[in-house]
Chains A and B, each alone.
Chain A
Amino acid sequence: MVTSVTSFSRTGLSDWLIQRVTSIILLAYFLLIAYQLMGSVDYTGWARLFEQTWMKVFTLMAALSLAAHSWIGLWSVFTDYLTERMLGPKGNVIRLVCQLGASLALVGYVIWVVVIIWS
Protein backbone atom coordinates (compact mmCIF):
# COMPACT_ATOMS: atom_id res chain seq x y z
CA MET A 1 0.00 0.00 0.00
CA VAL A 2 1.32 3.40 -0.95
CA THR A 3 1.16 5.99 1.80
CA SER A 4 1.99 9.65 1.46
CA VAL A 5 3.48 11.61 4.32
CA THR A 6 1.85 14.90 3.37
CA SER A 7 -1.72 13.70 2.73
CA PHE A 8 -4.25 14.23 5.53
CA SER A 9 -4.81 10.66 6.76
CA ARG A 10 -1.89 9.04 4.87
CA THR A 11 -4.18 6.69 2.93
CA GLY A 12 -6.29 7.55 -0.08
CA LEU A 13 -9.28 5.55 1.16
CA SER A 14 -9.48 7.44 4.48
CA ASP A 15 -8.94 10.76 2.68
CA TRP A 16 -11.79 9.83 0.33
CA LEU A 17 -14.17 9.15 3.23
CA ILE A 18 -13.09 12.19 5.28
CA GLN A 19 -13.53 14.41 2.21
CA ARG A 20 -17.15 13.24 1.85
CA VAL A 21 -18.12 13.38 5.55
CA THR A 22 -16.65 16.89 5.91
CA SER A 23 -18.33 17.99 2.66
CA ILE A 24 -21.76 17.06 4.07
CA ILE A 25 -21.06 18.94 7.34
CA LEU A 26 -19.90 22.02 5.40
CA LEU A 27 -22.88 21.83 3.01
CA ALA A 28 -25.32 21.67 5.94
CA TYR A 29 -23.54 24.56 7.70
CA PHE A 30 -23.47 26.83 4.65
CA LEU A 31 -27.14 26.04 3.88
CA LEU A 32 -28.00 27.08 7.45
CA ILE A 33 -25.97 30.30 7.14
CA ALA A 34 -27.51 31.07 3.74
CA TYR A 35 -31.00 30.48 5.21
CA GLN A 36 -30.21 32.84 8.10
CA LEU A 37 -28.91 35.54 5.72
CA MET A 38 -31.97 35.29 3.45
CA GLY A 39 -34.17 37.34 5.77
CA SER A 40 -33.22 40.69 7.27
CA VAL A 41 -30.30 40.23 9.65
CA ASP A 42 -29.85 42.38 12.75
CA TYR A 43 -27.13 42.20 15.37
CA THR A 44 -29.28 40.91 18.27
CA GLY A 45 -30.76 37.99 16.31
CA TRP A 46 -27.39 37.11 14.74
CA ALA A 47 -25.55 37.26 18.09
CA ARG A 48 -28.30 35.25 19.82
CA LEU A 49 -27.96 32.51 17.18
CA PHE A 50 -24.22 32.19 17.84
CA GLU A 51 -24.71 32.27 21.62
CA GLN A 52 -26.50 28.93 21.57
CA THR A 53 -24.38 25.89 22.39
CA TRP A 54 -25.50 23.80 19.41
CA MET A 55 -24.51 26.64 17.02
CA LYS A 56 -21.10 26.98 18.70
CA VAL A 57 -20.55 23.21 18.35
CA PHE A 58 -21.83 23.23 14.75
CA THR A 59 -19.53 26.16 13.90
CA LEU A 60 -16.52 24.40 15.45
CA MET A 61 -17.38 21.20 13.54
CA ALA A 62 -17.61 23.24 10.33
CA ALA A 63 -14.21 24.84 11.06
CA LEU A 64 -12.57 21.46 11.67
CA SER A 65 -14.27 20.10 8.54
CA LEU A 66 -13.04 23.10 6.55
CA ALA A 67 -9.46 22.43 7.71
CA ALA A 68 -9.57 18.70 6.85
CA HIS A 69 -11.48 19.24 3.58
CA SER A 70 -9.11 22.01 2.44
CA TRP A 71 -6.03 20.01 3.40
CA ILE A 72 -7.15 17.01 1.33
CA GLY A 73 -8.29 19.17 -1.59
CA LEU A 74 -5.15 21.31 -1.66
CA TRP A 75 -2.95 18.22 -1.30
CA SER A 76 -4.61 16.78 -4.42
CA VAL A 77 -4.03 20.01 -6.33
CA PHE A 78 -0.46 20.54 -5.08
CA THR A 79 0.68 16.98 -5.80
CA ASP A 80 -0.80 17.21 -9.32
CA TYR A 81 0.61 20.58 -10.40
CA LEU A 82 3.45 21.60 -8.05
CA THR A 83 5.74 18.76 -9.10
CA GLU A 84 9.21 18.37 -10.59
CA ARG A 85 7.59 17.28 -13.86
CA MET A 86 5.58 20.53 -14.07
CA LEU A 87 7.99 23.01 -12.48
CA GLY A 88 11.47 21.53 -12.87
CA PRO A 89 13.97 20.67 -10.11
CA LYS A 90 12.45 23.17 -7.64
CA GLY A 91 9.02 21.53 -7.88
CA ASN A 92 9.19 19.46 -4.70
CA VAL A 93 10.50 22.38 -2.64
CA ILE A 94 7.75 24.68 -3.94
CA ARG A 95 5.10 22.06 -3.18
CA LEU A 96 6.31 21.47 0.39
CA VAL A 97 6.48 25.22 1.07
CA CYS A 98 2.89 25.63 -0.23
CA GLN A 99 1.79 22.61 1.82
CA LEU A 100 3.37 24.08 4.95
CA GLY A 101 1.82 27.51 4.33
CA ALA A 102 -1.62 26.01 3.70
CA SER A 103 -1.51 23.80 6.80
CA LEU A 104 -0.42 26.72 8.98
CA ALA A 105 -3.25 28.86 7.54
CA LEU A 106 -5.78 26.10 8.22
CA VAL A 107 -4.62 25.68 11.82
CA GLY A 108 -4.92 29.47 12.11
CA TYR A 109 -8.49 29.34 10.72
CA VAL A 110 -9.54 26.78 13.37
CA ILE A 111 -7.96 28.77 16.22
CA TRP A 112 -9.59 31.95 14.87
CA VAL A 113 -13.03 30.29 14.89
CA VAL A 114 -12.51 29.09 18.48
CA VAL A 115 -11.58 32.65 19.50
CA ILE A 116 -14.61 34.14 17.67
CA ILE A 117 -17.08 31.66 19.14
CA TRP A 118 -15.78 31.45 22.73
CA SER A 119 -14.84 35.02 23.53
Chain B
Amino acid sequence: MLTAGHVNFDVLKFDGQRPTNCNRLSAHLYCAPMRFWQRPDPPAVNETNLRAIVRPNSKDTRPVNLDLGTIQLPVTAYASIAHRVTGVLMFFASFLLLWALDRSLASEASFDALSAVLSSPVSKFVMWGIASALTYHALAGVKHLVMDTGVGETMRGGVIGARIVFVAAFTGAVLWGVAIW
Protein backbone atom coordinates (compact mmCIF):
# COMPACT_ATOMS: atom_id res chain seq x y z
CA MET B 1 0.00 0.00 0.00
CA LEU B 2 1.48 3.29 -1.09
CA THR B 3 -0.25 6.20 0.62
CA ALA B 4 0.45 9.82 1.49
CA GLY B 5 -2.21 11.46 3.63
CA HIS B 6 -5.61 10.32 2.40
CA VAL B 7 -4.49 9.62 -1.18
CA ASN B 8 -4.29 5.93 -2.03
CA PHE B 9 -1.88 5.70 -4.95
CA ASP B 10 -2.62 2.03 -5.59
CA VAL B 11 -5.74 2.96 -7.54
CA LEU B 12 -3.74 5.23 -9.82
CA LYS B 13 -0.73 3.01 -10.41
CA PHE B 14 -1.85 0.97 -13.38
CA ASP B 15 -3.96 3.55 -15.18
CA GLY B 16 -7.16 1.51 -15.07
CA GLN B 17 -5.62 -1.68 -16.48
CA ARG B 18 -4.78 -4.53 -14.20
CA PRO B 19 -1.39 -6.03 -15.08
CA THR B 20 -1.33 -9.65 -16.14
CA ASN B 21 1.46 -12.19 -15.99
CA CYS B 22 1.10 -12.99 -19.69
CA ASN B 23 4.68 -11.88 -20.35
CA ARG B 24 5.96 -14.60 -18.05
CA LEU B 25 7.24 -17.96 -19.17
CA SER B 26 3.98 -19.63 -18.13
CA ALA B 27 1.93 -17.48 -20.51
CA HIS B 28 1.47 -20.40 -22.94
CA LEU B 29 -0.39 -22.26 -20.17
CA TYR B 30 -2.61 -19.52 -18.80
CA CYS B 31 -2.94 -15.79 -18.82
CA ALA B 32 -4.34 -14.66 -15.46
CA PRO B 33 -4.31 -11.24 -13.81
CA MET B 34 -1.31 -10.72 -11.59
CA ARG B 35 -2.00 -11.34 -7.91
CA PHE B 36 -0.95 -8.65 -5.50
CA TRP B 37 2.09 -10.61 -4.42
CA GLN B 38 3.21 -10.94 -8.04
CA ARG B 39 2.92 -7.28 -8.85
CA PRO B 40 6.11 -5.21 -8.96
CA ASP B 41 6.68 -2.80 -6.10
CA PRO B 42 5.29 0.65 -6.86
CA PRO B 43 7.86 3.37 -7.38
CA ALA B 44 8.98 5.21 -4.25
CA VAL B 45 7.32 8.60 -3.95
CA ASN B 46 9.76 11.47 -4.25
CA GLU B 47 9.58 15.13 -5.14
CA THR B 48 9.97 14.50 -8.87
CA ASN B 49 7.25 11.85 -9.35
CA LEU B 50 4.66 12.85 -6.71
CA ARG B 51 2.80 15.28 -8.96
CA ALA B 52 2.60 12.71 -11.77
CA ILE B 53 1.22 10.10 -9.34
CA VAL B 54 -1.37 12.37 -7.71
CA ARG B 55 -2.33 14.18 -10.91
CA PRO B 56 -1.60 11.77 -13.80
CA ASN B 57 -3.04 14.18 -16.39
CA SER B 58 -1.04 17.19 -15.26
CA LYS B 59 1.44 18.59 -17.76
CA ASP B 60 3.31 20.23 -14.88
CA THR B 61 6.63 18.46 -14.30
CA ARG B 62 8.08 20.77 -11.66
CA PRO B 63 9.25 18.97 -8.48
CA VAL B 64 7.01 19.10 -5.38
CA ASN B 65 8.40 20.23 -2.02
CA LEU B 66 7.89 17.36 0.43
CA ASP B 67 9.77 18.96 3.35
CA LEU B 68 6.71 20.42 5.07
CA GLY B 69 8.87 22.05 7.77
CA THR B 70 10.23 24.50 5.17
CA ILE B 71 6.76 25.77 4.21
CA GLN B 72 5.83 29.14 5.70
CA LEU B 73 2.65 28.88 7.77
CA PRO B 74 -0.18 31.43 7.49
CA VAL B 75 -1.20 33.47 10.54
CA THR B 76 -4.27 31.22 10.92
CA ALA B 77 -1.97 28.26 11.57
CA TYR B 78 -0.12 30.14 14.35
CA ALA B 79 -3.51 31.13 15.83
CA SER B 80 -4.58 27.47 15.85
CA ILE B 81 -1.29 26.24 17.34
CA ALA B 82 -1.44 28.95 20.03
CA HIS B 83 -5.03 27.93 20.84
CA ARG B 84 -3.81 24.37 21.42
CA VAL B 85 -0.75 25.39 23.43
CA THR B 86 -2.77 27.72 25.70
CA GLY B 87 -5.42 24.98 26.09
CA VAL B 88 -2.84 22.46 27.31
CA LEU B 89 -1.36 25.17 29.57
CA MET B 90 -4.80 25.80 31.09
CA PHE B 91 -5.15 22.09 31.87
CA PHE B 92 -2.06 22.35 34.09
CA ALA B 93 -2.95 25.86 35.33
CA SER B 94 -6.33 24.52 36.50
CA PHE B 95 -4.45 22.71 39.26
CA LEU B 96 -3.03 26.01 40.56
CA LEU B 97 -6.40 27.78 40.19
CA LEU B 98 -8.17 25.02 42.14
CA TRP B 99 -5.47 25.15 44.80
CA ALA B 100 -5.97 28.92 45.07
CA LEU B 101 -9.77 28.50 45.27
CA ASP B 102 -9.31 25.89 47.99
CA ARG B 103 -6.98 28.12 50.03
CA SER B 104 -9.18 31.21 49.56
CA LEU B 105 -12.28 29.49 50.96
CA ALA B 106 -10.82 27.18 53.64
CA SER B 107 -10.56 29.85 56.36
CA GLU B 108 -9.75 33.51 56.87
CA ALA B 109 -6.20 32.57 57.93
CA SER B 110 -5.61 30.52 54.74
CA PHE B 111 -7.12 33.40 52.69
CA ASP B 112 -4.56 35.81 54.19
CA ALA B 113 -1.75 33.26 53.68
CA LEU B 114 -2.78 32.93 50.01
CA SER B 115 -2.79 36.71 49.61
CA ALA B 116 0.76 36.80 50.98
CA VAL B 117 1.91 34.02 48.59
CA LEU B 118 0.27 35.70 45.58
CA SER B 119 1.99 39.04 46.26
CA SER B 120 5.47 37.66 45.52
CA PRO B 121 7.02 38.56 42.14
CA VAL B 122 7.12 34.93 40.93
CA SER B 123 3.43 34.41 41.83
CA LYS B 124 2.48 37.61 40.05
CA PHE B 125 4.29 36.49 36.92
CA VAL B 126 2.57 33.08 37.04
CA MET B 127 -0.82 34.76 37.58
CA TRP B 128 -0.14 37.08 34.65
CA GLY B 129 0.83 34.11 32.45
CA ILE B 130 -2.29 32.14 33.36
CA ALA B 131 -4.57 35.15 32.86
CA SER B 132 -2.98 35.97 29.49
CA ALA B 133 -3.10 32.35 28.28
CA LEU B 134 -6.75 32.06 29.33
CA THR B 135 -7.55 35.37 27.63
CA TYR B 136 -5.98 34.21 24.36
CA HIS B 137 -7.68 30.80 24.58
CA ALA B 138 -11.07 32.42 25.28
CA LEU B 139 -10.73 34.94 22.43
CA ALA B 140 -9.66 32.23 19.98
CA GLY B 141 -12.62 30.15 21.20
CA VAL B 142 -15.00 33.06 20.57
CA LYS B 143 -13.52 33.30 17.07
CA HIS B 144 -14.46 29.62 16.58
CA LEU B 145 -18.02 30.34 17.74
CA VAL B 146 -18.25 33.29 15.35
CA MET B 147 -16.93 31.15 12.48
CA ASP B 148 -19.51 28.46 13.37
CA THR B 149 -22.22 30.98 12.46
CA GLY B 150 -20.69 31.27 8.99
CA VAL B 151 -18.88 34.59 9.53
CA GLY B 152 -15.24 34.76 8.43
CA GLU B 153 -14.97 31.25 7.02
CA THR B 154 -12.97 32.27 3.95
CA MET B 155 -9.15 32.41 3.88
CA ARG B 156 -9.33 36.21 3.99
CA GLY B 157 -11.87 36.09 6.85
CA GLY B 158 -9.73 33.57 8.74
CA VAL B 159 -6.60 35.75 8.41
CA ILE B 160 -8.49 38.85 9.59
CA GLY B 161 -10.03 36.91 12.51
CA ALA B 162 -6.66 35.49 13.58
CA ARG B 163 -5.09 38.98 13.48
CA ILE B 164 -7.95 40.44 15.55
CA VAL B 165 -7.52 37.65 18.14
CA PHE B 166 -3.75 38.15 18.36
CA VAL B 167 -4.05 41.94 18.74
CA ALA B 168 -6.89 41.64 21.31
CA ALA B 169 -5.02 38.98 23.30
CA PHE B 170 -1.83 41.09 23.28
CA THR B 171 -3.84 44.08 24.53
CA GLY B 172 -5.42 41.84 27.17
CA ALA B 173 -1.99 40.63 28.31
CA VAL B 174 -0.82 44.25 28.67
CA LEU B 175 -3.95 45.14 30.67
CA TRP B 176 -3.45 42.09 32.93
CA GLY B 177 0.12 43.29 33.50
CA VAL B 178 -1.14 46.75 34.50
CA ALA B 179 -3.81 45.24 36.78
CA ILE B 180 -1.43 42.80 38.50
CA TRP B 181 1.60 45.09 39.02
Q: Which residue in chain B gives the minimum CB-CB distance to A106?
A: B91
Give A45 to B93 CA distance when docked, in angstroms: 25
Contact of B148 among A20, A73, A76 (CB under 8 A): A20
Tell me whether A30 and B134 are in contact in the complex, defined as CB-CB below 8 angstroms, given that A20-B145, A70-B94 are known contacts: yes
Q: By the criterion of a CB under 8 Å from any partner CB, how many residues of chain B are at the interface?
A: 23
In this assembly, does A61 line the interface, its C-beta being within 8 Å of a C-beta of chain B? no
A112 lies within 8 A of B98 (CB): yes
B138 lies within 8 A of A116 (CB): no
In this assembly, does B108 line the interface, its C-beta being within 8 Å of a C-beta of chain A? yes
In this assembly, does A43 line the interface, its C-beta being within 8 Å of a C-beta of chain B? yes
Nearest CB of chain A from residue B135's CB, rounded to whole Å: 9
Contact of B138 among A30, A47, A74 (CB under 8 A): A30
In this assembly, does A102 line the interface, its C-beta being within 8 Å of a C-beta of chain B? yes
Give every chain A residue within 8 A of B148 (Cβ-Cβ). Answer: 20
Tell me whether A116 and B108 are in contact in the complex, defined as CB-CB below 8 angstroms, given that A27-B138, A30-B134, A70-B91 are known contacts: no
Nearest CB of chain B from residue A66's CB, rounded to whole Å: 6
Interface residues of B in 84-116 (CB under 8 A from A): 84, 87-88, 90-91, 94-95, 98, 101-102, 104-105, 108, 111-112
Nearest CB of chain A from residue B147's CB, rounded to whole Å: 11
Q: Is the interface of A mostly helix, strand, loop or mixed?
A: helix
Chain B residues with a Cβ under 8 A of chain A: 84, 87-88, 90-91, 94-95, 98, 101-102, 104-105, 108, 111-112, 134, 138, 141-142, 144-145, 148, 179
Give every chain A residue within 8 A of B105 (Cβ-Cβ). Answer: 46-47, 50, 116
Chain A residues with a Cβ under 8 A of chain B: 20, 23-24, 27, 30, 38, 43, 46-47, 50, 66, 70, 73-74, 76-77, 102, 105, 109, 112-113, 116
B108 lies within 8 A of A43 (CB): yes
B94 lies within 8 A of A43 (CB): no
Give A24 to B138 CA distance when docked, in angstroms: 9
User: Which 10 A-B residue pairs are closest in the complex by CB-CB distance?
Assistant: A43-B111, A43-B108, A73-B87, A116-B102, A23-B141, A70-B91, A112-B98, A77-B84, A50-B105, A27-B138
